[in-house]
Structure formats: structure tokens, C-alpha cells
Structure 1
Amino acid sequence: MAAGRLAAGVLGLKEFIHRKNVLSLYRKILKAINQIPNEGDKQHLKNWARQEFKQNKNATDQPHNGFFDFQWHKGVILAGAG
């Protein structure tokens, strides 16, 4: 393997940090959703959050990812879990 290259399937530092931040954000969102008393609303929001993260799972566009992260963080903070 050439110097500076990672084996297939190994995350680079930027990708690792981004993945860590996304997982942290997902956990915060689930914590905020779990504070909702209505079970129907709670399940709907969990499904919606799961779908949003799955939809953006392979997104590599950093400006898009940054905006996506910002919007979720803003929502979590407004919900009181941030």
C-alpha cells in the first residue's frame, strides 16, 4: 500500500470526525423526540428522522452536509435537548 493511502473501507480523519458528529447529532435528535409525550407524534418523528438520515447517508457535498447538520442542531436546540 502506498504511503498516504488507506485500505478500502477505512475512513480518513475528516470522514471519521464527520461520522462521529452525525451519530452524535442523531442521538441528540432521538433524545429530543423521546421527550415528546404523544406516542403517535413520537413515532412519526422517529420515522421521519430515520428517513432523513438514511436519505443523506451517502451525501458527500460538504456545504449540503453543513446546512443539514445546522438545521438539525437548530431544531434540537429549539426542542430543548441541545
Structure 2
Amino acid sequence: MRNTSLKRPSPRNRAHPPPTSASVFPSAPGSTSELAQQAEVMASSCLPPGALTLKQFMRRQQVLLLYRKIFRAIRQVPSEADRKYLQDWAREEFKRNKSATEEDTIRMMITQGNMQLKELERTLALAKS
């Protein structure tokens, strides 16, 4: 026969210790609570330090798309000298403005770039006809 007095309680049947006041209530006013500290750690660990926000990522994609469209259009320029001039000009404009961080400024530059792209495409269409 087994001695049941030496049996350990199963993990499911163990009673959890009662929560302490420190774990139930936030810490004293003026100091950061444990929960807030955990939230900060979790937020900082989710993204690397230099990661872009979703909005910044979307703007970056718009800029890259515009850059590719401009260079595709420039490839259609018949004159080698004009093509080289336009490539250098476009590359320099993008490099000059790559440090821009203000959202309104970037949006305005994307709009201007799209207008210049349309003008280039119109000029190329007229030259072909």
C-alpha cells in the first residue's frame, strides 16, 4: 500500500500565492510603475533603434517608386548627352533632399517630382510624334 501523506500536490492543484500589494497597486506617485517600465521595455524591444514608422515607410516607398519612374522615363531620351544630363540632375536632386524629414516637405517634393515626370513624359511623347 502506498503512503499518500508524502504525495506532492500536482501543479494543477497547487494554490497560487496571494498577490502582494506591490503587484496589485502601482508604485508610489512620482515613480514609474512596474507596468509602465515593462511597457517601455517591450516597446523598445519590438523595433530596432533606427526603424521607420509605418507612415515613414510608406513615404519612402513613394519616393523610391518616383525615382524608378523618372529613370525609366529618362532612358527613353534619344540624345545620349541629354540622357546623361537628366540622369545626373535627377540623381543630384534626390541626394540633395535625402535628409528631409518633415512630412509636409516630403509630400510637396513628391508632388513636384510627379509633375516634372509628367512634363518629361509629355515632352518625350511630342518628340516621338
Structures share a fold, TM > 0.5? Answer: yes
* Consecutive unaligned residues in structure 2, runs of 5 or more: 1-40, 123-129
Q: Which consecutive unaligned segments of at least 5 residues does structure 1 have?
A: none
Tell whether 2:72 aligns with 1:10: no
Write out aligned runs for 1:1-80 (5 A). Answer: 1-3=41-43, 6-80=47-121
Q: Indicate the structure whose relative CO is greater, using CA pairs within 8 Å and at least 6 residues apart.
A: 1
State the TM-score, normalizing by the size of structure 2: 0.57
| Percent identity over paired residues | 41
Kindly provide the amino acid, as one letter, of the partner of residue 28 in structure 1. Answer: K
Structure 2 letter corresponding to 1:13: L
Q: Kindly provide the CA deviation profile for residues 25-49 of structure 1, in whole angstroms up to 9, marking residues without a partner as x.
A: 0000001111110111111110111
Matched positions, count: 81
Structure number with the higher helix fraction is 1
Q: CA RMSD in A?
A: 1.8
Question: Which of the pair has more CA radius of gyration?
Answer: 2
Normalising by structure 1, what TM-score?
0.86
Report the CA distance between 1:58 and its aligned residue.
Answer: 1.3
